[in-house]
Amino acid sequence: MFAAPAAPGYRIIDPHVHVWVKDPRYPYAKETTEPPAKDATAEMLIGHMKANGVEKTVLVQYIGYRWDNSYVRDSARKYPQYFLYVGRVNPEDPASPDHLSRQVQQDGMRGVRLSPAGDSRGDWIRGPLMPPLWKRCESLRVPMQILAPITRMPDIGALAENYPDLTVVIDHMADCPVDQPRELEKLLALARFPKLYVKISHTWSISRQPYPWRDAWDHVKRLHAAFGPQRLMWGTDWPVCESRTTYDKTLKVVRDEMDFLNTEDKSWILSRTVEKVWPFG
């Protein structure tokens, strides 16, 4: 039995976790030439959640499966008391808006994630296939989740201008390097969009220091000042985080270490902001 720590008046919800499994029912995409060495199953995740007092989690499609969202879909169906899921569609497929509609309406998908690279491979984010996909996402009323480097934030802003009713979520502070603080202005500029949210996850990834990764805190402070806690959320990024840290520390750094956040701030960042974007009921 796990002894879960008590949450201070709100339930803790993790908006960013991946799961995968070596199983012929869920084959990795042909592009995945080096699949993960270890499984990261839904059941393993539930163990971490119970051990750390995390009540709900948003599963985010692992890129190794590409556009086949079967494992996150089936995990959310098997454990609806714990999970919602965000899937992927191929951003370079003209039929993706219809694929999105089908998966939202029939499979229960609760958002879509796009991952434009910072170099020319990601230039599709500026291309003609984006407006119909973003418009469909807006009409379906599901969030558009973006994993992209800080240099892509002006492209995201250009799209967000045209879809004011679309909820947009920027993952991991756009992985802005700690030694390039001026670059964060590209993300701060997006605070003008009232339905755009930012995950303050990846302090462990961009930091050059040991836990609690204080050199990354200035990014969090600046985002807090620009967006307010009502548009910020944390996230473990398990099991990716295990390359540098542990599931519990990705929670503790926000809950216990960031002393510039008050109790009200944490109630939003650890819980209420997530529920605004992904209501669990």
What residue ranges do the domains of the chain occupy? 12-277
Give the whole-angstrom CA distance, residue 181 versus residue 197. Answer: 19
> What is the mean pLDDT of the segment spanning 123-141?
98
What percent of the chain is predicted at pLDDT more than 70?
A: 97
Which CATH number is correct for 12-277, 3.40.50.1370, 3.40.50.1220, 3.40.50.620, 3.20.20.140? 3.20.20.140
Give the model's confidence band at 8: pLDDT under 50 very low, under 70 low, under 90 confident, else very high.
Answer: low
pTM of the model: 0.96
Give the whole-angstrom CA distance, residue 85 versus residue 75. Answer: 9
Taking CA atoms, 121 is separated from 117, 171, 235, in Å, by 6, 19, 27
Residue 98: pLDDT above 60? yes
User: Of 4-8, 57-61, 73-77, 212-216, where does mean pLDDT reach its minimum?
Assistant: 4-8
Residue 10: pLDDT above 50? yes
Residue 6: pLDDT above 90? no
What value does the mean pLDDT of the chain take?
96
pLDDT of residue 9: 84
Helix count and strand count (H, E) for the chain: 11, 8
